Amino acid sequence: LEQVNPDVPSPGIVIPIIHWLGTPQMFWDSDLGKSIETIAYSLYRKPNPELEARADAIIDMYEKLQDEDGYLNSFFQRIKPEWKWTNLRDFHELYCAGHMIEGAVAYYQATGKRKFLDVMCRMADYCVRKFGKGPGQVPGYCGHEEIELALVRLARVTGNQAYMDLAKFFVDERGQAPNFFIEEAVAHNRDPKGVQKNTLEYNQSHLPVREQTKVVGHAVRAMYLYSAMADLATEYNDDSLTAALETLWADLTQKQMYITGGIGPAESNEGFTDYYDLPNDTAYAETCASVGLVFWASRMLGRGPKRVYADTMEQALYNGAITGLSTDGKTFFYDNPLESTGKHHRWTWHACPCCPPNIARLVTSLGSYIYAVADDEIAIHLYAQSEARVVLANGARFTLTQNTDYPWSGAIDIAIEPETAARFAVSLRIPGWARGAKLAVNGQHVDLAVDADGYARLDRTWQKGDRLALDLPLEPRVLRANPRVRQDAGRVAVMRGPLVYCLEATDNGTGLNSILLQRGLGRAETAAIPDLRGAIAIDLPALRENAETWGADLYAEKAANTQTTTVRLVPYHLWDNREPGEMLVWTRQATQ
């Protein structure tokens, strides 16, 4: 906070300048923005005067720090003013503004206080003047996308179309020729090949966004870009953006996504590599990237319910994102491998601490991902114990309450309590995996008419006391990967409902690759896991190769000595919360 507080001396460079000629210290404002956003969601649900006072104090600092013209960035104001706007590609100035705007919007919505919103509107106004193709304006955009989706949020809450248009400008300009980042590098006498990964694909500026067909580069950057594109497709009814997004969505989910919803297998670029290249033990699959995938999937629902997006949103949420957080909430995974020899554990802190506030703001704002409303309809995208108070544009006012301990059980009771009887539709997502789902309305079973988008739509006049009972079967499922994924060859993953399961050494001993699941899985039993608050384990019969009887040879002409056993699988998102040790998602399966 010394960097932000104009009343104390600047701390100077605390984290050294590294190879890309910047320092993670440049992103500190973004972490404060995400933290204020998280505090806002938390205050919305439960008042906490101490926390609110702390946020207010930080906001006061920023207000005081802001330049006359609206410019606000503690690093470039207090530490390196001469670097201001010299390197949009690497220096994250607009990215920081974006996270501050998101924080300001959320804080205003939670508390009704306008101060931070006004501060960030002045910064946004500054950007509206600064960026564009007019005389004296900068025709550029940020190397790390984020400002775009933030400006959409700011436009929605303020009604100021200039912010929306600036978001559209940033998205439309990205990747146009001549490439802005090359021109910028040349103008500042830097090698236009760049120091970061040597490629425009890294920040998705290699092509105009509507011409992009392959998901490339830094995974978080990509997700934030596509999120903004989806928002703008909704706001401008822009089918050309939607078409590009549908292509990119298929590219990601059919060729480049872990079964956990983890994305970006490589540490080297924190991002994407080749199609079907999904190594398990070295998977990077940054927590933030799965959070970003939840953001994107959620925004793909902006033009109406579609199971293909909501299913993946749920998959990434439960398996890619919340895995990042330990059950005690104190430690964080930055990267999320699908196999571990026992050395991978959650951090208490990280030099680039983007993931903790990102997962925190997602978890605290979960409500906004569960429901979506249109003029005369409410869609339930996710199932979770929750209560929503809804006013539709058609005048219907009602409370919708889900009673469930999903995803542990598939029984979901939904109470709809209109103030007065009202007509509107309730669309229930029937997950793609939920074969044999059943629905009852007020105790009467009804035919489950699932539409092409994967939702059961109940359009009726709702009365006080109406009750829906949805039953999603949670039989364990065995999934195989496309044979092109070489790392998963001969292996299967077990899922139950939306949850990916894994083996842990604490339940099964070491040497998890010695375990062979049966073809057809065999008789599965479920059981509550001690110490994991109601979580459900799956116990399966299996074969196991005996390492004890093998002998000392490293290589030998020997057959496998297998014996039957029972193995326990636990939800992947809960791994590394008990005795630390080996973990394995993709498990070998007998071939015949």
Q: How far apart are CA 465 and CA 308, in angstroms?
A: 32
Q: Which of the residues 447 through 506 are near its own copies (CB under 8 A)?
A: 477-487, 489-490, 493
Residue with smaller CB distance to its own copies, 35 or 587: 587
Backbone phi and psi for residue 255, each to the nearest 5 degrees, phi listed first: -140, -15
Instruction: Write down the least CB distance from residue 145 to its own copies, Å.
Output: 25
Q: How far apart are CA 103 and CA 288, in angstroms?
A: 17
Q: How many residues bind its own copies (CB under 8 A)?
A: 48
Residue 253 touching its own copies (CB under 8 A): yes
Q: How far apart are CA 19 and CA 16, in angstroms?
A: 10
What is the per-residue burial (b if ≥16 Cβ within 10 Å, else e) of 456-493?
A: bebeeebeeebebbbbbebebbbeebeeebebbeebbb
Backbone phi and psi for residue 577, each to the nearest 5 degrees, phi listed first: -110, -5
Residue with smaller CB distance to its own copies, 78 or 573: 573
28 contacts: CB under 8 Å, gap ≥ 6 = 3, 4, 74, 75
Question: In the set 55, 232, 297, 516, which binds its own copies (CB under 8 A)?
Answer: 516
* Tokens (6 digits) for 103: 């924080």
Residue 254 touching its own copies (CB under 8 A): yes
Question: In the set 2, 69, 274, 531, which binds its own copies (CB under 8 A)?
Answer: 274
Instruction: Write down the least CB distance from residue 532 to its own copies, Å.
Output: 25
Question: In the set 1, 352, 446, 590, which binds its own copies (CB under 8 A)?
Answer: 590
Instruction: Write down the least CB distance from residue 581 to its own copies, Å.
Output: 13
Name the 3-class secondary structure at 447. coil
Residue with smaller CB distance to its own copies, 511 or 580: 511
Instruction: Write down the least CB distance from residue 332 to its own copies, Å.
Output: 24
Amino acid at 98: G
Region from 92-100, 227-235, 238-246, 542-550 binding its own copies, contact rule CB under 8 A: 542-550
* Active-site residue, 145 included: no
Q: Which of the residues 554 through 573 are near its own copies (CB under 8 A)?
A: 554-560
Question: In the set 10, 109, 341, 386, which binds its own copies (CB under 8 A)?
Answer: 341
Question: In the set 546, 563, 564, 566, which binds its own copies (CB under 8 A)?
Answer: 546
Residue 268 touching its own copies (CB under 8 A): no
Instruction: Write down the least CB distance from residue 437 to its own copies, Å.
Output: 16
Of the residues 96, 288, 354, 502, only one is catalytic, namely: 354
Residue 277 touching its own copies (CB under 8 A): yes
Residue 161 touching its own copies (CB under 8 A): no
Q: In this structure, are residues 265 and 283 in contact, taking their beta carbons and an 8 Å threshold? A: yes
Q: In this structure, are residues 378 and 426 in contact, taking their beta carbons and an 8 Å threshold? A: yes
Q: In this structure, are residues 273 and 293 in contact, taking their beta carbons and an 8 Å threshold? A: no
What is the per-residue burial (b if ≥16 Cβ within 10 Å, else e) of 52-77?
A: beebbebbebbeebbeeebbbbbbbb
Length, in residues, of the chain? 592
The beta strands (E) that lie in 284-430 are given as: 339-340, 371-374, 377-380, 386-391, 397-404, 411-418, 422-429
Q: In this structure, are residues 494 and 477 in contact, taking their beta carbons and an 8 Å threshold? A: yes
Residue with tokens 């997700």: 223
389-319-571 Cα angle (round to 5): 105
Residue 126 touching its own copies (CB under 8 A): no
Residue 542 touching its own copies (CB under 8 A): no
Question: In the set 13, 57, 547, 579, which binds its own copies (CB under 8 A)?
Answer: 547
CB neighbours of residue 397 within 10 Å? 13
Residue with tokens 């409303």: 373
Residue with smaller CB distance to its own copies, 341 or 526: 341
Instruction: Write down the least CB distance from residue 10 to its own copies, Å.
Output: 30
Packing angle of the helix pair 28-45, 93-111 (nearest 10 deg): 20
Residue 225 touching its own copies (CB under 8 A): no
Q: In this structure, are residues 430 and 410 in contact, taking their beta carbons and an 8 Å threshold? A: no
Q: How far apart are CA 316 and CA 294, in angstroms?
A: 6
Question: In the set 125, 172, 453, 545, which binds its own copies (CB under 8 A)?
Answer: 545
Residue 513 touching its own copies (CB under 8 A): yes
Of the residues 184, 270, 314, 504, only one is catalytic, namely: 270
Instruction: Write down the least CB distance from residue 559 to its own copies, Å.
Output: 8
Instruction: Write down the least CB distance from residue 258 to its own copies, Å.
Output: 9
* Active-site residue, 52 included: no
Q: How far apart are CA 20 and CA 194, in angstroms?
A: 8
Residue 250 touching its own copies (CB under 8 A): yes
Residue with smaller CB distance to its own copies, 142 or 583: 583
Question: In the set 448, 550, 565, 580, which binds its own copies (CB under 8 A)?
Answer: 550
Question: In the set 255, 346, 496, 573, which binds its own copies (CB under 8 A)?
Answer: 255
Question: In the set 94, 223, 225, 259, which binds its own copies (CB under 8 A)?
Answer: 259
Q: How far apart are CA 321 and CA 332, in angstroms?
A: 11
Residue with smaller CB distance to its own copies, 257 or 529: 257
The catalytic residue positions are 270, 354
Tell me which residues touch its own copies (CB under 8 A): 250, 253-255, 257, 259, 274, 277, 279, 281-282, 341, 477-487, 489-490, 493, 511-514, 516, 545-547, 550, 552-560, 588, 590-592
